[in-house]
Structure 1
Amino acid sequence: MKAGLLRHILNLWPPFLFSGVHVTRLDADYRHAQVELRMRPWNRNYVRTHFGGSLFAMTDPFWMLLVMQSLGGDFIVWDKAGEIEFVKPGRGTVHARFDLADTVLDELRHATAGGDKVLRWFDTEVTDASGDVVARVRKQLYVRRKRDRDRSNAADTRG
C-alpha cells in the first residue's frame, strides 16, 4: 500500500480519529513517520492532562508498520511487548517521531538469515510543544523470515 494512502486511512481509523491522534508524516519509503496527539476533552484524564492510554496508542502501530513495509513480504513482523514511562504531564499537542535506520534493517536481515526469530526493542519519545519529554515508549518487535510453508500458505489465501 502506498504510504500516503495508509496515512489517510490511519487518520480516519476510529481509534485514532476519536482519540485525537493525527499522522502528520509517513514517508513513501516507510523509514520515517511523525504523529501528534491533540488535546481534546475526551482524551484528558481527571487532572486535565493527556490520558496515558492515548499517549501509548499514538505510538502503538508505527514501529511494526515501518519495519514490516521496509523488510517486505518475506518477513513476519509482530508486536511482542510494549512499555511506557510517564516523564511529565502532557498538555496541548504532543508529538512522536519514528526514524527507521538502514543499519537496523540490515541487522534484522542478517540476524534472521538462518531462519531464527529476532526480538528487538525500539524507543520513541513523546514530546510537548517546547520539546520536553512527556513519555518514553518502548516497543519490542518479533521478526522472522517466512519459511517456505508460510509463503505457500500466504499465496493460497490470496488466490
Structure 2
Amino acid sequence: MRASTFRRLMNLWPPFLFNSIRVQHVAEDWSELKVVLRLRPWNRNYVRTQFGGNLFAMTDPFWMLLAMHQLGDDYYVWDKAGAIDFVAPGREDVYAHFRLSASMVDELRIAAANGEKVLRWFDVPVTTASGEVVARVRKQLYVRLKPKARAEAPAETCATCE
C-alpha cells in the first residue's frame, strides 16, 4: 500500500476520525510519520484537557506499522508492550513525530537474522505546537524473521552495528 493511501484510510478509521486524531504525513519510504490530536469538546476529559486514552491512541499503531513496512513481508512485527508518562496537561492540539531510521531497521534485521525474537523499545514525545512535552510514550516491538525466510537468509553484517 502506498503511504499516501494509508494516510487517507487511517484518517477515515472510526477510532481516529471520531477522536480528532489525524495522520498528517507518512513518508513514501515509511521512515517518518506525523500525527496530530485536536482538542475538541467531545474528546476532553473532566478537567477539560486531552483525554489520556486519546494521547496513547494517537501513538499506538505507528512504530509497528513503520517497522512492518520497512522490514517487509519476511518479518513478524507486533506490539509487545506500551507505557505512557503524562508530563503536563494537554490544553491544546498535540503532535507526535515518528522517525524510524535505516540504521535501526538494519539493526532489527541483523538481530532477527538467526530466527530469534527481538524486543526493542521505541520512544516518542507528544508535544504542543510550541514544543512543550505533554506526554512520553514508549512502545516495545516484537520482531522475528518468518520461518520460510530463515532457511533462505544468509548471515548479514551491519557496518553501523559494530
TM normalised by structure 2 equals 0.91
User: Separation in 2 of the partners of 1:130 and 1:75?
Assistant: 38
The number of equivalent residue pairs is 150
Identify the residue that residue 47 of structure 2 maps to in structure 1.
Answer: 47
Q: Structure 1 residue 118: deviation in Å?
A: 0.2
Flag the 1:62–1:90 CA change in 2: closer, same or farther, 3 A.
same
Identify the residue that residue 15 of structure 1 maps to in structure 2.
Answer: 15
2:36 and 2:96 in contact (8 A); partners too: yes
Flag the 1:149–1:71 CA change in 2: closer, same or farther, 3 A.
closer
2:74 and 2:149 in contact (8 A); partners too: no
Identify the residue that residue 155 of structure 1 maps to in structure 2.
Answer: none
Identify the residue that residue 126 of structure 2 maps to in structure 1.
Answer: 126
Identify the residue that residue 28 of structure 1 maps to in structure 2.
Answer: 28
- Runs of at least 5 residues in structure 1 that lack an aligned partner in the other structure: 151-159
3-state SS, counterpart of residue 67 of structure 1: helix
User: Separation in 1 of the partners of 2:127 and 2:144?
Assistant: 32
Flag the 1:149–1:100 CA change in 2: closer, same or farther, 3 A.
closer
3-state SS, counterpart of residue 68 of structure 1: helix
Identify the residue that residue 6 of structure 2 maps to in structure 1.
Answer: 6
- Runs of at least 5 residues in structure 2 that lack an aligned partner in the other structure: 151-162
3-state SS, counterpart of residue 45 of structure 1: coil
3-state SS, counterpart of residue 83 of structure 2: strand
TM normalised by structure 1 equals 0.92
User: Separation in 1 of the partners of 2:103 and 2:26?
Assistant: 19
1:110-149 map, 5 Å? 110-148=110-148
RMSD of aligned alpha carbons:
1.2
* 1:86-143 CA-partner distances (Å, limit 9, x unpaired): 0000011100000001111011000011001100000000001221000000000000
Identity of paired residues, percent? 62
Identify the residue that residue 86 of structure 2 maps to in structure 1.
Answer: 86
1:35-74 map, 5 Å? 35-74=35-74
The amino acid that maps onto 2:112 is T
Runs of 4+ with >4 A deviation: none
